[in-house]
Structure 1
Amino acid sequence: MAKRGRAAGRSGADKAAGVVEIPKGSRPEGPVEGIYYIDTGDCELIADQDNSTGWLLRINGVMSSHIDLADPLFLDFEYMRWISALVESRWPPESRPKLRALHLGGGACSLARYFHAAYPDARQVVVELDGKLAEYVRGWFDLPKAPLLRLRVGEAREVTESLTPQTRDLIIRDVFAGSLTPRPLSTLDFNRHIQRVLAPGGMYVVNSGDAPDLKNAREDAATIAAAFRHTVIIADPAMLKGRRYGNMIIAGSDVPFDDDPGLARRLLGGAVPAHIWDDARVRAFAAGAPVRRDPKTVDPASPAAP
């Protein structure tokens, strides 16, 4: 569901010609264009034809990430720019906060690289389900080493449930199976685990992909609003009006989001201008949508209901 930030121009993502399939088990050091076997299928590494130091990563046919090897502060995907703007509104980089961030969903670790450059004192963990993909990404993109950035192979919910309470300031959910986030990572029950792991004043940010009917985004918003006292949504006007497929950023916190004119201007100034909705508009948008819950489990030893 990733949408690139450039307004025009044919990118390397559209040019599959000449890609060479890499034999299973090989891992070149540094990025080499090609198709690679990973644990969950395959990924394709594509040189960005518009940027000599840029690379695109497609996972199982879906565009996932962009990396600029020369500039970690360059984010090509607009939704990632929206996330970084929201985070920096709460934690200005010039104050050098020791941000503790958890990324659920790895891809090429674009945001983790960005936050490492913006917050040199940050400690980050990226949870990636696919161990082979994590190995490739670590080799291709020269990521910061532990403890600044750790890649943890595992299922996002299991890892989150295992974490110590109040040990993260920022949690970002950017996990997709096809066009949607797996349901276990979108329920109120999972949001309660997120709440437990977040420190006071922390922020939970999700990338919610959706179709024009906005059914998934409304349910995501309703579920996050049921868990957190304060919410915001960031998206471009066409997405908010249900006119296209795309990405919507939804965030929750136990403290209010600042009414920051600078944030609003930054969002409007991008290649894909975005609006930010406050808590009241988020709850109005989500009104009537069901709050997702984990399925109820039945103890096989329990007697059947009459």
Structure 2
Amino acid sequence: MRNPISTIAIPGDIVHVDRDKYGNILVIDDRKHRILSFDSVFEQSKIVRATPNLPVHEYNRAMLLPIAFHEPQHVTVLGLGGGVLAHGLHKLLPRSDIQVFELREKVAEIARKWFALPSSDRLHITIQDARLAVDNLPEASTDMILTDLYSADRMSPAQAQRQFIKACSRALTSKGWLALNYHKMPEANGNLVRELRRQFPLLLVFRSKTNNWVIYGSKQGFSNVTIESSRCAELEKRLPIGWAKLRKKLEVLEL
């Protein structure tokens, strides 16, 4: 999603500019952070330069919450950006494979060069339209799908399409999780939420400080969605993003 900083520009110095057929790609530094932007007004990704594996934005951190319920062996990330989610997953899950689909090759190049995205046999980046990639994923081939598809100024319409939700559900294993980052909460009785309910017996929701909404679908139903304090403490040692604080904002999306 994109975190609006001002109506003029993101504060900081532009340290790198690139361009492809989709538009500009900017790298911006302030004293502490490095930011990826496609238009100099909205942040696509943001890292602390001293700790590039830690997601800065709360909604990015929240997208990792399903790991508290089920430790995946394989994770699929749709949309790379600066590699914030991919890098965090690589650190958090040292025995898991991470597959990323990114539309723009130059974005992937910049993530590696400017955002310290690691080179690893466990981290695979494929340059492909995420909508096509999901359709082509083998059935029950991944344990978790994290989708964060945005252009310079809007969310990809694919994330709100029923066919996209169906394709994600089909690709997930029997204990799989889907996490979607939306710029606003979908209509409770709209087609998108109805499709999510058809595909997933349990839906959870997280509202971030920037009014992003992360919706989670679990292929398994749970009678108790409480995350134990001991589990939060364990995950905090691996990736210190404030798991205990995040879990307090997690709610069941009532049917």
Is the pair's TM-score, using the shorter chain for normalization, greater than 0.5? yes
Matches for 1:272-291 after TM superposition, within 5 Å: 275-279=249-253, 281=254, 283=255
Hey, what's the Cα distance between the residues in 2 that align with 1:112 and 1:253?
21
Counterpart among 77, 91, 94 of residue 103 in structure 1: 77
Matches for 1:133-282 after TM superposition, within 5 Å: 133-210=107-184, 214-215=185-186, 219=190, 220-236=192-208, 246-257=211-222, 258-262=224-228, 269=245, 275-279=249-253, 281=254
Query: Are the structure 2 counterparts of residues 178 and 135 from structure 1 closer, same or farther at C-alpha, using a change threshold of 3 Å?
Result: closer
1:80 CA displacement: 1.2
1:44 CA displacement: 1.4
- 1:11-38: CA deviation from partner (whole Å, max 9, x where unpaired): xx7325x53xxxxxxxxxxxxx132223
1:147 CA displacement: 2.9
Cα RMSD, aligned residues only: 2.9
1:87 CA displacement: 2.4
Given that 2:69 and 2:227 are in contact with CA atoms closer than 8 Å, whether structure 1 keeps it comes out as: no
Given that 1:202 and 1:253 are in contact with CA atoms closer than 8 Å, whether structure 2 keeps it comes out as: yes
- 1:46-98: CA deviation from partner (whole Å, max 9, x where unpaired): 1132x2xx3111123421101234324422101011122x123113xxxxx56
Name the counterpart of 1:297: none
Hey, what's the Cα distance between the residues in 1 that align with 2:158 and 2:245?
35
Deviates more, 1:60-69 or 1:129-138: 60-69
SS of match in other structure, 1:202: strand
Question: Quick one: which amino acid aligns to residue 223 of structure 1?
Answer: E
Hey, what's the Cα distance between the residues in 1 that align with 2:138 and 2:68?
26
Counterpart among 61, 66, 76 of residue 46 in structure 2: 66
**Runs of at least 5 residues in structure 1 that lack an aligned partner in the other structure:** 5-9, 20-32, 92-96, 240-244, 284-306
1:90 aligns with 2:69: yes
Query: Are the structure 2 counterparts of residues 169 and 215 from structure 1 closer, same or farther at C-alpha, using a change threshold of 3 Å?
Result: closer
Given that 2:38 and 2:151 are in contact with CA atoms closer than 8 Å, whether structure 1 keeps it comes out as: no
> Normalising to structure 1: TM-score of the pair?
0.69
Hey, what's the Cα distance between the residues in 1 that align with 2:225 and 2:216?
14
Name the counterpart of 1:14: 10
Query: Are the structure 2 counterparts of residues 194 and 48 from structure 1 closer, same or farther at C-alpha, using a change threshold of 3 Å?
Result: same
Query: Are the structure 2 counterparts of residues 143 and 34 from structure 1 closer, same or farther at C-alpha, using a change threshold of 3 Å?
Result: closer
1:216 CA displacement: 5.9
Given that 1:48 and 1:55 are in contact with CA atoms closer than 8 Å, whether structure 2 keeps it comes out as: yes
Query: Are the structure 2 counterparts of residues 197 and 172 from structure 1 closer, same or farther at C-alpha, using a change threshold of 3 Å?
Result: same
1:226 CA displacement: 2.8
1:39 CA displacement: 3.5
**Runs of at least 5 residues in structure 2 that lack an aligned partner in the other structure:** 233-241
Identity of aligned residues (%): 21
Name the counterpart of 1:34: 16
Given that 1:233 and 1:249 are in contact with CA atoms closer than 8 Å, whether structure 2 keeps it comes out as: yes
1:126 aligns with 2:100: yes
Query: Are the structure 2 counterparts of residues 73 and 178 from structure 1 closer, same or farther at C-alpha, using a change threshold of 3 Å?
Result: closer
1:275 CA displacement: 2.2
Given that 1:55 and 1:67 are in contact with CA atoms closer than 8 Å, whether structure 2 keeps it comes out as: yes
Hey, what's the Cα distance between the residues in 1 that align with 2:189 and 2:52?
33
